[in-house]
Structure 1
Amino acid sequence: ADHMSDSVTIHVGTTPDQYMVHSARLRKSSKFFEKALEKVSCQSFRSRRVIDLADENSACFKVYLHWLYDKTLPTMISQDLESDSNMEGSVDTEYHLLSNCYAMGERLMDNGFKNAVVDALVEARLISHTGNCWEPCVGTVTIIYTGTPEHSQARRLMINM
């Protein structure tokens, strides 16, 4: 069982936002955190163990934490918006968030999270009540291409969408 006594503080962003996370969950899911936790476990005060993720985005990290604990992504947009114009903006926002989450998953070396994000990207390609199908915009594709290695699953997905 996870215990908060075996937790680590993670600072996210330049501000930063602080999150207390169970070390065992991080180790089990992410190769990055597995290595980072080896380093901070050498610190003398377990309660002061901190991992700094200044270059990461808090919105993405919140999605990651939700997935880490619940194995679901809290990002799926509502399908009952009043008009396609509202839906289009929501889909673009969703694609941007998910593509940034995927790039973060790449840096955290968490394959399970990346797979969940790919599934969500596919689901976000909604067909509206008027028959419109929204595809990732240039910004989303750019986020994926700049944040992933050459043979990335997400890059192939962008090509096929």
Structure 2
Amino acid sequence: MDPTDLIIQLVVPSCAGETVRLNVHRGVLCKSSGFLQNAIKPEWTNREENVVTLPEDSANTVIDYIKWLYYDKIAIKLYEAGADKLEKKAEEAEKVFCLLAEAYIFGEKIIDTQYKNAVVKAIFDAQRSSRWSMGPESVSIVYEGTPSGSPVRRIIADRFAHSAYDDSKDGYGWMQFIDGYPREALADAMKLLLCLRKSDGRPEPGVESYLE
């Protein structure tokens, strides 16, 4: 990072309905996003103020991205499952999965493959640390913001096909939440499950299978 580098301001909406201005060094901002590399060209920015407006992206999502740009580490704190009850585990894990889903969609939007890959790895870490899977809300976020064949959609389908089971006796889990998942997600999972049966099953893919 060059301390003499030009500062670019990203203008984003806050949860309070106001706007927030985020300062980022130009060289850092252009590190890996195709969209932002184009966005700071003179014909797209305010020539005097060097401002880029992102009216559809939340301040928290963009701030997490900026932290990743500077520190090369996903800023979203993972939930560590301990002795929590299943209800608590599901609630806390889903909060993290929702943030990661939004982060991935932002990476998709700004054409940043490196960031998307970092988020994919974080999703795997979140599944491992929480000992839980993405719930209806986070899966809905993914399916609303990604195209067919998206790596995260494949993660969801693989997780369903390899891990889902009748856990009715536990009183909380797959069977309780299944009606809340998007129909398209369930269809993707069913197609994969049928393929696994035909091929006598295969191991659940590792994270490398989903990186671009």
Give the letter aligned to residue 29 of structure 2: L
State the partner residue of 2:147: 149
1:11 aligns with 2:11: yes
State the partner residue of 1:25: 28
In structure 2, C-alpha distance between the alignment counterparts of 1:6 and 1:82, rounded to whole Å = 49
| Superposition deviation, residue 4 in structure 1 | 5.4
CA-to-aligned-CA distance 1:48-103 (integer Å, 9 cap, x gap): 11100110011211211111111111213242656234332221100000001100
CA contact (8 A) 1:103 1:144 kept: yes
CA-to-aligned-CA distance 1:105-125 (integer Å, 9 cap, x gap): 100111111001011111111
**Larger relative contact order, structure 1 or 2 (CA cutoff 8 Å, min sep 6):** 1
- Percent identity, please: 26
State the partner residue of 2:116: 114
Moved more, 106-115 or 6-15: 6-15
Give the letter aligned to residue 77 of structure 1: L
| Superposition deviation, residue 38 in structure 1 | 1.0
CA contact (8 A) 2:46 2:52 kept: no
> Which consecutive residues of structure 2, in runs of 5 or more, have no partner in the other structure?
160-212
Alpha carbons of structure 1 residues 107 and 82: separation in structure 2 relative to 1, 3 Å: same
TM-score (norm 2): 0.66
TM-score (norm 1): 0.86
CA contact (8 A) 2:7 2:23 kept: yes
CA-to-aligned-CA distance 1:27-51 (integer Å, 9 cap, x gap): 1210010110113577442xx1110
CA contact (8 A) 2:79 2:126 kept: no
State the partner residue of 1:102: 104
Equivalences, count? 155
| 1:8-157 correspondence to structure 2 within 5 Å | 8-13=8-13, 15-39=18-42, 43-45=46-48, 48-79=49-80, 83-84=84-85, 85-126=87-128, 133-157=131-155
Secondary structure in 2 aligned to 1:18?
strand
- CA RMSD, Structure 1 to Structure 2 (Å): 2.1
In structure 1, C-alpha distance between the alignment counterparts of 2:47 and 2:61, rounded to whole Å = 30
CA contact (8 A) 1:76 1:124 kept: no
| Superposition deviation, residue 151 in structure 1 | 2.3
> Which consecutive residues of structure 1, in runs of 5 or more, have no partner in the other structure?
none
In structure 2, C-alpha distance between the alignment counterparts of 1:108 and 1:24, rounded to whole Å = 16
